Amino acid sequence: MPWDSLRPYPAALPFVTGAPWPCHSPVLRASLATTTTMLAAGFTLTLLMVLPGTRADLEGAWCYDSQDPTCGPTHWKEVAPACGGPAQSPINIDLHLVWRDPTLGPFIFKGYNAAPPGPWILENDGHTVLLRVDTGQQSRLEIHGGGLPPSVYRARQVHFHWGAPAYAGSEHSLDGQRYAMEMHVLHVNSRFRSMREALGHPDGLAVLAVLLTEQDTDNPSFSVLVSGLKNVSARGLSTELASTFSLASLLPASSSLGRYYRYSGSLTTPGCQPAVLWTVFQDTVPIGRAQVAQFQTLLAAGPPGSGPTPLADNFRPQQPLGSRRVTASPGALVRAAAPRLGLDGALAALLTLWIGRQLGQGV
């Protein structure tokens, strides 16, 4: 998730004063407490180091291994120390280890079901292709509910991660299974007056992560976006989309939006601030194989002294979960782990086995 694509809100953005939000989920509250402690322990200073205020500050300072291993993910902590800290993203979601959380209710979407006035801007920033959807009061897209803090979260941009041809490119995985692409819809907590402020809090951002699966036929919902890719073929290019569309059309079906997983994590690109409440939907969304190929034709800057390189494999390696917990909404799939037998259970199992053998021998 590119932090450098997050431009500050206009000064007119409402600010809600008051105490920090009350988290109703004990599991999420414990996870956020860990992240807050980490911030208090010094990562606020890191934030100031990697967010001097201009988008160009980290430009060219980091990349993916597919572009140049000398500035790939293993080196990100050299330009953004938080990338080497705890509570990082993405992760594998092990469905045997998730905790079901009854407080993770349905989302309430505002503005998602209609095509807003726009215009929407599509941009190749050299790390991904992103769609800027926060273009004015009439285009405002918001979410709340879904176990999030009571603040409204406003959509800022949509961006994508993908692999090289014939390889998976999602950042998150479910039970170790990765997918062709991953789409992130990034929202900012309206409780904060600026992006800088939001990035300093563990509930500053809310990201909806949608896993995309390849299919033979195109998905019409992606047609407008994919048709604009030819106009942003190289780093630094941007274009106004021919039209806007319903953002809900890129999400899983409305009947499955209640099946999701939640954890506290970070941006998946430098500066890696641990400021994200992640929602990873269980149900995937299809995208055509030819549409995926259009993303794979985009170009990024290559190593110094070389020409542009294909923009592919733009995903961060998965990070340790550590002491965090992943929670599941009531409708999401949870795989029950095989119970571990205690001493009494083991003795009972052995006794049952012995009795069965004795009966089989006619004793």
Residue ranges per structural domain of the chain: 3-360
What would the two tokens of residue 261 be? 């997983």
Do the beta carbons of residue 25 and residue 327 sit within 8 Å?
Answer: yes
Average pLDDT over residues 11-32: 37
Calculate the dihedral angle through the C-alpha atoms of 242, 246, 248, 253, rounding to the nearest 10 degrees.
-100
**336: confidence class by pLDDT, cuts 50, 70, 90:** confident
Helix, strand, coil % in the chain, rounded to nearest 5: 25, 20, 50
pLDDT confidence of residue 129: 97
Mean pLDDT (the chain) is 82
pLDDT confidence of residue 244: 94
Which residues are CB-contacts of 257 (< 8 A; sequence separation ≥ 6)? 106, 107, 251, 281
- Per cent of the chain over pLDDT 90 is 68
Residue 20 has pLDDT above 70, yes or no: no
Question: Contacts for 179-182 with beta carbons within 8 Å, 24 or more apart?
Answer: 179/211, 179/212, 179/213, 179/284, 180/212, 180/213, 180/214, 180/287, 180/292, 181/211, 181/212, 181/287, 181/292, 181/295, 182/209, 182/210, 182/211, 182/212, 182/315
pLDDT confidence of residue 139: 65
321 against 351, higher pLDDT: 321
pLDDT confidence of residue 300: 86
CATH H-level, domain 3-360: superfamily:
Alpha carbonic anhydrase (3.10.200.10)
74 against 57, higher pLDDT: 74
Question: Rounded to an integer, what distance in angstroms lies between the CA atom of residue 200 and that of residue 48?
Answer: 9
Residue 347 has pLDDT above 70, yes or no: no
DSSP state letter for 219: -
pLDDT confidence of residue 286: 98
Average pLDDT over residues 214-229: 97
Residue 358 has pLDDT above 70, yes or no: no
Residue 24 has pLDDT above 90, yes or no: no
pLDDT confidence of residue 2: 61
Residue 338 has pLDDT above 50, yes or no: no
Locate all alpha helices (DSSP H) within 135-250, ordered by sequence. Answer: 195-198, 223-227
pLDDT confidence of residue 309: 85
Cβ-in-10-Å burial (0-12, 13-18, 19+) of 335 comes to: exposed
Average pLDDT over residues 312-337: 95
264-278 burial, b if ≥16 CB within 10 A, otherwise e?
A: bbbbbbbbbbbbbbb
**pTM of the shown model:** 0.79
**337: confidence class by pLDDT, cuts 50, 70, 90:** low
What 3-state DSSP class applies to 239?
strand
102 against 31, higher pLDDT: 102
Single-letter amino acid, residue 326: V
Q: Active-site positions?
A: 127
What would the two tokens of residue 205 be? 């951002």
pLDDT confidence of residue 134: 85
341 against 308, higher pLDDT: 308
Residue 359 has pLDDT above 70, yes or no: no
Average pLDDT over residues 86-100: 97
236 against 5, higher pLDDT: 236
What would the two tokens of residue 218 be? 């195109």
Average pLDDT over residues 95-115: 96
158-216 per-position pLDDT tens digit: 999 999 999 999 999 999 999 999 999 999 999 998 889 999 999 999 999 999 999 99
106-154 per-position pLDDT tens digit: 999 999 999 998 899 999 999 999 999 987 666 689 999 999 999 999 9
Average pLDDT over residues 259-283: 98
What 3-state DSSP class applies to 27?
helix
pLDDT confidence of residue 43: 38
Residue 302 has pLDDT above 70, yes or no: no
Q: Cis peptide leading into 90, omega within 30 of 0?
A: yes
Residue 217 has pLDDT above 60, yes or no: yes
Question: Rounded to an integer, what distance in angstroms lies between the CA atom of residue 7 and that of residue 60?
Answer: 18
Range with lowest mean pLDDT among 4-8, 90-94, 313-317, 334-338: 4-8
